[in-house]
Amino acid sequence: MAFVITPSYEDIFSDKRPELSELLSDIPSSDVLRLLSYLDAQLFLNEDIQTQFKLLKVLLKRQKTDTVINIIHNYEILNENAKTEFSVFSRLYIKTFIHYVLINYQEIPSIADTTPTQELNLLKAYLVISSIKNSETHNIYNIGNETKESDFFPTHTWPLIISQLDVNTKINPIPNIIRGVCLMNYLQYHSSYSKYVISFLNKKGLTNTWEYIMLLSSTIQLSWTKNDAGMKNYFFVCDDKFSALFDYFSINPSEYRERYLNKKEEHSLLKSKPLFKYENQYYVLDWNFMPNKIYEGLIFDFHSESGIKELSTLNTIPQFKRLIGLEITEKFIFRTILKAVFSDKYCKLIFPKDNSAGEPDAYYRKGNSIFLFEIKDSFFPTSAIKSSTYEDIKNAIDEKYNNDKKGTGQLVKQINRLKEKSYEEKDYQDLKIKVRNFNVYPIIIYTDKYFGMYGVSNYLIKEFDKKIEHIKLQKSFKKINNLTFLSLDYLILHSKLLSNNGFVKILDNLHKTIDDRKKKNDRIREVPVLMEYNKNMELILEESYKTENDKEMDIKEIMLLLNMTEGLPQS
């Protein structure tokens, strides 16, 4: 993540900024959405400056030579003078353009070919959007300046980051595939909810879970390839038997307008409906939203469409999410991965028999090194994302991971108990170990990418340290290490790395790197150094372990690890 300069209308054109309605008055909205789908797809996996200028020249290909030279010249001057990253087009701003078009959708018949004037107006319309968004960003930053909170980074960046995260954070589809299969397999084969799986699939014209997962996976793979014209795929067609599913994923401009007219832009409906259907073609409005349909979006779709919400115990999303969090995320995925990572027969791995007893979600001891795990399968509150204020974001983090009953507070209580009593069947005397020799590693596992925002892990480290210091716990142990805050996705993708390299060694190296970056940030007050220090722990680990042996596990390896064979079609 970096701060990126995106030109405004005033940077490129010298005339008064026109109204969007004026620029788009004679252009069918369906044509605008298809163009924006094309632009977004070309930028999805490659936003380098060469690609940016190439797309700009495509939009200008029918303009007069003097016009092209002048516009390109203005962009090049901005690029040369930029002190940070420069972007001709922003995928985030393209989403705002899509938002505007859907709210102001015009049912004008599609035209065979746009005129040069219309094509220039489309570029101008994008730049007007850019002007508006740049102004909003400036205002958010100024509000951050007014806060009394002493910590500069979160107060000034979280309100900016949170509104951009859905678009700017590339989603790895593999963990979504794994979690989606585990969700559906549990519901169909290991619970009393099998009939709801069948009902959900039948409504979508599908026969089994794997057909659903494989269909979406193969669709997502289109984003990595080019069509016959050498362009990244931005639309697709499907067999008639799959049209019910993709129609369900397609946005309805009237529904969109009804939800968002005169309201703040956010991406929840676009994430739920990331396609735009035109004739028999499905245009992808953001490829980054498609993996969402395999897991997170599937949770909402299944709850809404399967009939399961008619059960009094599962009639709300929070109730359904609690079931998923306990039975699938914690008891199956999390525990299975830890068993693979901690496979040494001379060590002790314990999971709680009673979740109400205040025990850690996992306890692991190797010699005098003790790991205490808490996993929280929680969505980041939508209200905090919509408000985009520092106070609401901080409160959301505290509610889920930093209070007396959850997260940091739970771990402090568990460490305090560790001082007095063993979590194992034998007491310390029988185990022949002493508390003062314990090297304690407190670990929180999160599941929603929003909690992976830059600066969140450092914030929680500081909050955890305050709690430890308040009751003077450090004196009782050899060492209480800094809090580790990792995503479940990282565990899914890197359990082999954690096992092969040793968890103790990896966490020691991780926190040494963070400490080194903190010291550098204290010495050198520059934005790039500040950003490096505040990266989430997954990024720091990925930067530290880059060899062939350290790479992510592929999907077959993970499926074998989790024994995910139920429901697979027989060859």
Average pLDDT over residues 486-506: 94
Residue 364 has pLDDT above 80, yes or no: yes
Q: Where are the alpha helices (DSSP H) in 147-193?
A: 152-162, 165-168, 173-189
Q: Per-residue confidence at 83, pLDDT binned at 50, 70, 90?
A: low
Measured between alpha carbons, how far is residue 565 from residues 212, 213, 248, 489 in Å?
Answer: 15, 13, 28, 20
Q: In residues, how long is the chain?
A: 571
- Greatest mean pLDDT among 25-34, 257-266, 545-554 lies in 25-34
Provide the pLDDT for residue 3. 63
Residue 145 has pLDDT above 50, yes or no: no
Torsion angles phi and psi, residue 487, rounded to 5: -85, 150
What pTM value is reported for the model? 0.92
Task: Report helix, strand or coil for 89.
Answer: coil
Average pLDDT over residues 140-155: 58
Measured between alpha carbons, how far is residue 270 from residues 255, 275, 297 in Å?
Answer: 11, 8, 11
Residue 363 has pLDDT above 60, yes or no: yes
Average pLDDT over residues 75-82: 85
Angle 163-45-118 (CA atoms, 0-180°, nearest 5)?
75
pLDDT tens string 287-307:
999 999 999 999 999 999 999
Provide the pLDDT for residue 567. 64
Angle 270-273-274 (CA atoms, 0-180°, nearest 5)?
70
Higher pLDDT, 60 or 263: 60
Closest CA to 456 of 405, 513, 539, 394: 394
Question: What's the burial of 318, exposed, middle or buried (CB within 10 Å: 0-12/13-18/19+)?
Answer: exposed
Provide the pLDDT for residue 477. 97
**Which two tokens mark 80?**
């040369």
What does the DSSP assignment read for 475-495?
Answer: GGSSEEPPPEEEEHHHHHHHH
